[in-house]
Structure 1
Amino acid sequence: MRAELADIALRLFAERGFDQTTVDEIAQTAGLTKRSFFRYFPAKEDAVFAAVDVTGEQVVDDIHARPGDEDPWHSLHQVLRRWQQQIHASEQALASVRLIESTPSLRARLHEKRAHWRQQVSDALRDRPDAGLDAFTADLLTNAATAALDTVSHEWLRSDGTADRAALLDRAFTLIRPALPAR
């Protein structure tokens, strides 16, 4: 039901605009009460990020599953490449990115969510068996990967969704590949 409610909200936001769409309208369209909406999402903004939250958890799980002796930059690249393809394969992806970019409160919420996600990813990089990463290096790699994702997303948006996200991500990871100390 949570995913269905998020889909309804995104559709209404795309049709009417985020600020012009009320929680009552979303709930009514879903056949729920306003109170029921808030059982699934603490705020209207959270309906936009329902898939992001799930994907963030899955990314962290996938990083934990990578071999501890694997280069952490390579681990990040492989995991993010897999997930960005899945995320942006949906038809709603372009509309969602446009909605977030055009709505200040959503950009602010995305910033909050990304900060939380970055910390989880950094912790996951350090927690892999035999990883041997200190907090500074894990944070730096995670922030660089996030910058790559942001740049890919902006270019994809500029291309009206026609750019090859996987190729852009590969290019970004190659361009900013860090020189990691030997273990």
Structure 2
Amino acid sequence: MTQGDGTGTRGGGSGLRERTRRAVRTELAELAVGMFAERGFEETTVEDIAAAAGLSKRSFFRYFPSKEDVVFGDVEEVAAGIAEAVRARPAGEPAWTCLRVVLREWEGRIHASQRELAGLRLIESTPALRARLHAKRDEMRTSIAAALRERPGADLDAFTADLLTAAAGAALDAASREWLRAGGTADRAALLDRAFAVLSPRV
């Protein structure tokens, strides 16, 4: 693995550096999840991951702030994208419909940010990762609830926005768990539609 710092200074140099950085992050995360699955999360150190990737420990921390974060990929970036998509939905669209449409569009990216089946199984079996996932999802829900209230023409109080966003998160979680139980063979989008239909409020 190369470190992918990027040295271009003209034209698309900045974009190239960012694409290279993302590619390295993805490769590093896939390597780490494989090592966690083989050796165990607690038994695998940052030094182990960095050595396997041909990086220094310092270089590892340039891509991820902690060992836990390597499992979650670009969760923060995905959360920001979802919030932006929520703000861009048509004025007057019911909040629940907005959440259903946006999360269905982003469902693939959400799962990719958790490294698919191996990553989800790892998270479910590792208390430290489950705790980090809950913390990240709390942050995501807060930003999405704020985006719901910021939509043009929105007339939502903070309580309702929080409640609807939490319900949407529960739908996403239930769909993910069912997909995991099915060994990754179920239709995730269909599961998400089913979950939203079951929870559908009259708002």
TM-score (norm 1): 0.91
> CA offset at residue 89 of structure 1?
6.8
2:74 corresponds to: 51
Percent of counterpart pairs with the same letter? 60
Between 20-29 and 140-149, the greater mean CA deviation after superposition: 20-29
1:144 to 159, 167, 171: 167
Q: Which residue of 2 aligns with 1:80?
A: 103
Q: How does 1:12-161 map to 2 (within 5 A)?
A: 12-88=35-111, 92-161=115-184
Amino acid at match of 1:84: E
Higher relative contact order (CA 8 A, sep 6+): 1
Give distance in 1, aligned partners of 2:62 and 2:68. 14
String of CA shifts for 1:72-91, please: whole Å, max 9, x gaps. Answer: 1111111111111344479x
Q: TM-score, normalised by structure 2?
A: 0.83
Q: Highest CA radius of gyration, 1 or 2?
A: 2
1:2-21 alignment, distance < 5 Å: 2-21=25-44
How far, CA to CA, are the matches of 2:125 and 2:101 in structure 1?
30
Q: Is the 8 A contact 2:78 2:109 kept in 1?
A: no
Amino acid at match of 1:65: A
Alignment partners' CA distance in 1, 2:55 and 2:173 = 35
Between the aligned partners of 1:87 and 1:134, the Cα distance in structure 2 is 27
Q: Which residue of 2 aligns with 1:167?
A: 190
User: What is the CA RMSD across the aligned residues, in angstroms?
Assistant: 1.8
* 1:148-180 per-position Cα deviation (integer Å, ceiling 9, x unaligned): 111111111111111111111111111111111
CA contact under 8 A between 2:145 and 2:161: conserved in structure 1?
A: yes
- SS in structure 2 at match of 1:43: coil
Which secondary structure state, in structure 2, belongs to the residue aligned with residue 50 of structure 1? coil
Residues in 2 aligned to 1:4 and 1:56: alpha-carbon distance in whole angstroms: 21
**Mean alpha-carbon deviation: is it higher for 64-73 or for 81-90?**
81-90
Alpha-carbon distance in structure 1 between the residues aligned to 2:30 and 2:66: 15
Q: Structure 2 CA distance, aligned partners of 1:175 and 1:33?
A: 49
Give the distance between the partners of 2:70 and 2:135, measured in 1 at CA.
15
* Structure 1 unaligned regions, length at least 5: none
| Partner AA of 1:39 in structure 2 | R
Contact 1:87 1:93 in 2 (8 A): no
Cα pair 1:24 1:34 within 8 Å, conserved: yes
CA distance in 2 between partners of 1:49 and 1:65 (Å) = 26
In structure 2, list runs of 5 or more residues that go unmatched. 1-23
Alpha-carbon distance, 1:136 to partner:
0.8
State the AA in 2 paired with 1:32. L
